[in-house]
Amino acid sequence: MENKQKIVRLETVSWGMYDWANSAFATVILSVIYNKYFAQVVAGGEKGVNILGVNIHGAALWDFIVSIAMLIVAVISPFLGAIADFSAKKRIFQIFFCYLGVIFSGLLFFVGEGNWLTGSLFFIFALIGFSASIVFNDSFLIQISTEKNIGRISSLGWGLGYIGGGLLLLINLIMLQFPNLIGLPKGYFTVQDCFLSVAVWWFIFSIPTFLFVREKSFGSKLPEGESYIIVGIKRLANTLKSLKHHKELFKFLIAFLIYNDGIETVIIMASIFGAEVVGMGTDEIIMFFLMIQFIAFAGSIIFGHFADATGKKIALIISLVIWCFVSLWAYFLGIIWDMKTEYWILGMIASTVLGGSQAISRSLCGALTPNEKAAEFFGFYAISGRFASIFGPLIYGLIIHWTKSVQAGILSVTLFFIVGMLILFTVDEKRGVEEKNSSGLLQNYN
């Protein structure tokens, strides 16, 4: 019994280590350094770039590029999930997309000033690898957890992610600002070296996941005369039909699509907002995000326990109320003290719910998802998340393009939080679990 418990703990921690590994990309490239570098240096900042006769602000171009990448992920995620469930090769798919992200993250090392097209293409492929690999890692959550501890295990993953991303960000700060601490002269490292560090970190720390988290389902034999592509299309169609038997899950996915729009947009734009609106330098932004990473770690763990004790829906609604407050204050930034002071305070408040709201969302999806269709339904969960990452940045980018103001688009984020929360109110968590269990009984009967 003791050996079995050790194996379970090893599998749980190894699963969470993938969040630790890929959070290097989420933190350094998507949230803190590359997005600011791309918007202000590669794409020219306020000067922008001329594309087909239209001048586009650097920050707006960044938003548009993110939207394109997320559209691709949204289209392929459920299709790949259907194939992976049928073939029981979720791990193989995860490894492929993981290393796709690793390779193109490393190639960002070669992106310099004015290389907006190369920088866009490399980033798109890296983001596809990052996002698609998460779909398959998330689908293992049901396999390694129970209804009683799924919130805590999901939060463990998010918590490890914030610690891992924060540690690499700290290393990058030392590289850029204090290389003398490791015996090297000032200016030895560039921001491009930070992108290379992401690839190395992601590659090394994903290894435990691939070694110790095993596929426990068995694949089906491919029907004669059919390919995995045909099977994937058929299973995807069946999954779409089966959504009518999972009404609460469907309502949750719609709510998640909308409120996560706000969360993802805040993550993607926070460092650009800090640089262009608040006037923070690179070292200040890194310190700001280091604070967020470590507070978010504690917040994700606390919210995970809170969600398991009181209900995931209640915990999510509380987090969304706080998000509304944060986004409204950001619009009126500087109303009480100076902008920089208020932005630090906002960062502290937002970070308490950042990890929690995302971890609880993943665990609620898992609690409502049938085990036998884990990758397919988490593919739809990914669609909701990635469509959010299409429309949020796209709308924010259009507002920047029209107004030339990064601050002007923040009210659109507030609207996403409010609408998503209103739909979430209609989700019956208990009924959703009953729908999941009924689906399992029907599957066994058939």
Is 147 exposed, middle or buried (CB count within 10 Å of its CB: 0-12, 13-18, 19+)? middle
Cβ contact 19:164 at 8 Å? yes
- Examine the pLDDT at 446 and tell me if it is beyond 60: no
Highest average pLDDT, of 155-164, 335-344, 383-392, comes from 335-344
Please give the average per-residue pLDDT across 318-326, as a whole number.
94
Q: What confidence tens digit (pLDDT) does each residue in 104-143 have?
A: 999 999 999 999 999 999 999 999 999 889 878 887 887 8
Banded model confidence at residue 73, pLDDT cuts 50, 70, 90 = confident
> CA angle at residue 22 from 178 to 97, to 5 degrees?
135
Residue with tokens 């990058």: 172
Band of pLDDT at residue 16, cut at 50, 70 and 90: very high
Instruction: Give the pLDDT score at 445.
Output: 38
Query: pLDDT tens across 415-441, in order?
Result: 899 999 999 999 998 898 888 877 654
Determine the Cα–Cα distance for residues 398 and 244; give it in Å rounded to an integer.
35
Residue 199, pLDDT above cutoff 60: yes
User: What is the C-alpha separation between 157 and 359, in angstroms, rounded?
Assistant: 8
Mean pLDDT of 361-390: 70
Reported pTM: 0.79
CA 289 to chain centre: 16
pLDDT of 232 reads 66
Mean pLDDT of the chain: 85
Q: Give residue 236's pLDDT.
A: 65
Cβ atoms 351, 165 nearer than 8 A = no
Which range has the worst mean pLDDT, 140-149, 165-174, 268-277, 281-290? Answer: 140-149
Q: Amino acid identity, residue 319?
A: S
Instruction: Dump pLDDT digits (tens) for 241-273.
Output: 777 778 898 899 889 888 988 888 888 888 989
Residue 181 burial (10 A CB sphere; 0-12, 13-18, 19+): exposed
User: Averaged over 206-210, what is the pLDDT?
Assistant: 96
132-141, 337-346, 367-376, 398-407: which has the highest mean pLDDT?
A: 337-346
The confidence score (pLDDT) of residue 119 equals 97
How confident is the model at residue 90, as a pLDDT?
Answer: 83
The model's confidence at residue 444, banded by pLDDT at 50, 70 and 90, is: very low
Model confidence pLDDT, tens digit, residues 85-95? 677 788 888 99
Q: How confident is the model at residue 442 (pLDDT cuts 50, 70, 90)?
A: very low
Q: Give pLDDT, residue 430.
A: 86
Q: What is the pLDDT of residue 389?
A: 65
Q: How far is CA 35 from CA 23, 88, 159, 272, 330, in A?
A: 15, 36, 23, 7, 19
Q: Tell me the C-alpha distance between 238 and 139, whole Å.
A: 18
Bigger pLDDT: 433 vs 384: 433
User: What are the structural domains of the chain?
Assistant: 2-213+231-445 (1.20.1250.20)
**Residue pointed to by tokens 């932005």:** 343
**Does position 347 have pLDDT exceeding 80, yes or no?**
yes
Q: Write down the pLDDT at residue 6.
A: 55
Out of 163-177, 191-205, 387-401, 404-418, pick the least confident.
387-401
Task: Report helix, strand or coil for 54.
Answer: strand
**Res 372: pLDDT:** 64
Q: Residue 446, class by beta-carbon neighbours within 10 Å (0-12 exposed, 13-18 middle, 19+ buried)?
A: exposed
The residue among 227, 215, 202 whose CA lies nearest residue 89 is 215
Structure confidence at residue 111 (pLDDT): 97
Q: How many helices (H) and strands (E) does the chain have?
A: 16, 2
**Dist. CA 272–CA 290, nearest whole Å:** 16
3-state SS assignment for residue 55: strand
Better-scored residue on pLDDT, 1 or 410:
410
145 band by pLDDT with thresholds 50, 70 and 90 = confident
Q: What percent of the chain has pLDDT over 90?
A: 41
What is the pLDDT, as a whole number, of residue 8?
59
What pLDDT was estimated at residue 388?
Answer: 59
Among 233-247, 265-279, 295-309, 375-389, the least confident range: 375-389
